[in-house]
A and B are shown apart, each in its own frame.
Chain A
């Protein structure tokens, strides 16, 4: 299969996931929060394709609604860390000096600490909830982007076209916006795309440990956590969100690989 077709195919799946996440409310066959104990733990059937959980809630509807929280929170997290990290990295790389030294030592500190443990500590201090989980993961994850952006900035800021732009009267802000950011954005986008899968797993991980989304909010990690004792008796309660996480992470990773291929072509 040609690379372009692979790119288009993976992009179509990603768009499909995002559309499903955005319009989850209208796609769900049942109300994902409506409880009906008379149909609790029903195995997958034509009426409930992924079965029902302990409260008789339709698992397919909960998986679709859970996608909204999981996917959109992951995209928000990746957007925050990539934009913030890139901005910090570009400023450090361009100006160097004391600000660079201080910020880079801070990022060394973040990188040296086990990510999920730090995120757990931050989430524990801030309390549960998906917003706090995003803040916790953002605090630990931005240095990867700042390191990358700083390195790229250092490598291109000595180039002739930057010197030419300086002679044309560009100030530091104009140089960064017009010349540095457009020339480093490719690797940043590739890293961010490949990071979506990892971040989705980390958000799900925090939720699984009870530090992310709280019940009754449908979120894949917390859904798996709630059903973990039922793996042997009612496996669909755990497997449905598990398959959703697995499929989504694989699709985003494949998309990330294709995006990298597209950028590497030149």
Chain B
């Protein structure tokens, strides 16, 4: 299978002003195949979000390197906090296109299409994050990520802050999007059953180290 991300021996240490160093990741290597849904599982504090931020190039690893063959977008854990409270959902969703100098009419059309695709009422475009529910906000966050037409979508605990029924809706939405678009998804969660259900392969992190890689068909999780 074709690799879309290759992670080689990455480590990340956070240096605190107090002099204490926190090792978030230590010598992690794995590969992500094009078109797959890869789960990243582990307890809180095991380095999942650090790994996500390194993959999305929001932070640099202390050691090692990441080779990526495609654009990456990310969906964050807390949907409401992942939107700027001073801007409407439409502004935040369309921001990436504005940066690419896409014409205004085209932006409006694409935002409306994505709102429809993500199951959002187009009237919500003018709402602020605090004016919509967590589920609606997470759908908007997925729309924001997809509007950039990424090759890879990282979902960092994208369902953790939502109640169970909304979690199911978001997973269904991601499955639906996956079916329509040639998308590679990295699904980060501490919820093993959810990862088992949703992902084809999963890596398990423990205390910053990769301790196992599971393949769904040959070695089911659980």
Chain A residues in the interface with B (C-beta under 8 A): 159-161, 163-170, 174, 178-179, 182-183
Contacts and interface: CB of A to CB of B under 8 A. Distances in A.
B159 to A, nearest CB: 15
A155 to B, nearest CB: 13
5 contacts: A160-B77, A163-B82, A164-B76, A167-B58, A168-B95
A161 B81 contact: yes
Contacts of B145: 167
Give the interface SS of chain B, mostly helix, strand, loop or mixed: loop
Nearest to B156: A160
B144 interface: yes
B56 A174 contact: no
Contacts of A169: 95-96, 99-100, 148
A236 to B, nearest CB: 50
B73 interface: yes
B84 A179 contact: yes
Contacts of B82: 160-161, 163-164
A174 B91 CA distance: 14
Contacts of B84: 161, 165, 178-179, 182-183
Tell me whether chain A's interface is mostly helix, strand or loop, or mixed: helix
Contact of B95 (A160, A165, A182): A165
Contact of A167 (B56, B77, B87): B56
A159 B129 CA distance: 15
B85 interface: yes
A178 B83 CA distance: 12
Contacts of B85: 161, 183
A130 to B, nearest CB: 37
Nearest to B56: A167
A176 B33 CA distance: 36
